[in-house]
Structure 1
């Protein structure tokens, strides 16, 4: 993967071109002070104070926070824990954007959303209605740390680069159903594969709609994506809304940290000369069990020889064994 291919997949790069076919999004530059805050692991976990001076959780001893005990204060040598940081200009811009987007958003940085930190939010999701919600998710997320520190690690020609980081606030949509989300694989500007994104669940309705879904995505790719995305090899994620319209969720580079989900990269590469396949979980035996963790699926290591690779191969072997046993019993 080339650095330029990765940079094209930043939401600030692709969204302006495809905004009509995506979720309404407002993109804000992130000040250096907030970036330093996200990367600072040395001090206590403090959420930013609001412009009015309030600490949203509160998290320092002067606020009579029940989470701080005398023993914890003693651990700091008797020194008071610093007051929470404040980013008033960014918070004001974020709150205005949230209002403009209907009152609820989900956040992401250049490439990643803080999916792995959803368990930290009171709602258990990425739905945010305040700057403090967003700060909590971003500060808690390893995916966000990956964007900030390791985004270029998979690039064969990576060099010291000045990436400009942005905060993308995307309008919260209640109709975004996981069974209607799909990852599409493009090789040499040709659609070679599609698969469902949520691989840990069997959705019976997908079997009935598979042919229709394939047709809708093909038409969308040919008419919207193919001629306007500059890379030759890439993936893009979409969802199909209730009215049948296809909406782009994201673009991802080919290979690198992008997971092929129900495919493997060698299999997809062999389709370069004309192959195509659309994969869904066909039955309950075909789900990928054990992958519903706080780590997003896109960051699990399923490379050959990895622990997950061995585990998934055992799952496939067991599924085949059960299938043979079932046939023998008939």
Structure 2
């Protein structure tokens, strides 16, 4: 894997190209002082002091806002990482910008750094997801996440042509919160040498009969999206991308990932993806029975989009799925 292949998968690189085919997002550059605060684990866990007056009293019209804005990086002297002798850090300018962007995006977002979102810290959120409504909530998720250390310190470890430990700058992407998404409608697509050789159900920990019924239609829609929207616009030979298929058949791209083993192959293996067989005979793979479920694979469900709290759409979906499984079990026994 090359350095350029990693860089092109950063959200600030691909979002301007695909913003008409993805979730509305506002991107801010992060000051180095904030990055050091995220990395600092030498003292007590302090959340930044909140500036209650940071958000001006004005109404934002989302139609008037630019959705791709890289804010100027604040001076490193704006704040210092906390220590037992220092007061909690404060980032008033960054807080103001982020809170304004949250308002523009409808009041709820989920955060993402250059490549990754803090999925592993969703447990700390009251709603069990990455849904955030304020700078403080975002900071809590980022500071609690171990998975973001990859973005911050190890992004280029698999590159054969780079000794970099981190990119020149970090950004935070605020992605508009999308409720009521169905996990079975998200797919990972594998492109090798500019050919779409594989499509995988992304939520491989569940069996969804609707996928069997709609498989051919879904494959046609995804392949058309790749041909029309992605193939000539994403400037890399081999990569993966995640899509969501809406009820009306429209396809939205959620993310791009490098072609390497740090990207989960889901229903495939990397040995298969590197073989010539799929180059000759591409496949669309889904969990086609309850026996095909992979309960041990930690991936897939787009938790960063879904509210998993009691009474939420996802909670109801799981109850319905359990009832369907019980029905099938009773039928099989009869």
Instruction: Kindly state the Cα deviation for residue 224 of structure 1 after the two structures are TM-superposed.
Output: 0.4
RMSD of aligned C-alpha atoms? 2.2
SS of residue in 1 equivalent to 2:266 = coil
- Residue 118 of structure 2: which of 105, 109, 114 is its match? 114
Instruction: Kindly state the Cα deviation for residue 17 of structure 1 after the two structures are TM-superposed.
Output: 0.4
Q: What pairs with 1:122-141 in structure 2 (closer than 5 Å)?
A: 122-141=126-145
Counterpart contact for 2:272–2:278, Cα < 8 Å: no
CA distance in 2, matches of 1:291, 1:49: 38
Q: What pairs with 1:11-26 in structure 2 (closer than 5 Å)?
A: 11-26=11-26
Counterpart contact for 2:198–2:278, Cα < 8 Å: no
C-alpha distance 292-188 of structure 1, shift in aligned 2 (>3 A): closer
SS of residue in 1 equivalent to 2:147 = helix
Q: Is 1:228 aligned with 2:233?
A: yes
CA distance in 2, matches of 1:253, 1:290: 23
SS of residue in 1 equivalent to 2:235 = coil
Q: Which residue of 2 aligns with 1:305?
A: none
CA distance in 2, matches of 1:291, 1:53: 45
- Please, which runs of 5 or more residues in structure 1 have no aligned partner? 55-78, 298-330
How many residue pairs match? The answer is 273
Instruction: Kindly state the Cα deviation for residue 175 of structure 1 after the two structures are TM-superposed.
Output: 3.3
Cα deviation 1:12-32 (Å, max 9, x = unaligned): 000000000000000000001
Cα deviation 1:87-121 (Å, max 9, x = unaligned): 00110010000000000000000000001110011
TM-score (norm 2): 0.78
C-alpha distance 96-39 of structure 1, shift in aligned 2 (>3 A): same
CA distance in 1, matches of 2:295, 2:51: 45
Instruction: Kindly state the Cα deviation for residue 162 of structure 1 after the two structures are TM-superposed.
Output: 4.4
Q: Is 1:51 aligned with 2:51?
A: yes
Q: Which residue of 2 aligns with 1:212?
A: 217
Q: Which residue of 1 aligns with 2:200?
A: 195
Counterpart contact for 1:109–1:165, Cα < 8 Å: yes
Counterpart contact for 1:202–1:281, Cα < 8 Å: yes
Instruction: Kindly state the Cα deviation for residue 272 of structure 1 after the two structures are TM-superposed.
Output: 5.6
CA distance in 2, matches of 1:84, 1:154: 36
SS of residue in 2 equivalent to 1:169 = strand
Instruction: Kindly state the Cα deviation for residue 291 of structure 1 after the two structures are TM-superposed.
Output: 3.2
- Residue 291 of structure 2: which of 269, 281, 285 is its match? 285
Instruction: Kindly state the Cα deviation for residue 80 of structure 1 after the two structures are TM-superposed.
Output: 6.8
C-alpha distance 178-26 of structure 1, shift in aligned 2 (>3 A): same
- Residue 152 of structure 1: which of 145, 150, 156 is its match? 156
TM-score (norm 1): 0.79
Q: Which residue of 1 aligns with 2:322?
A: none
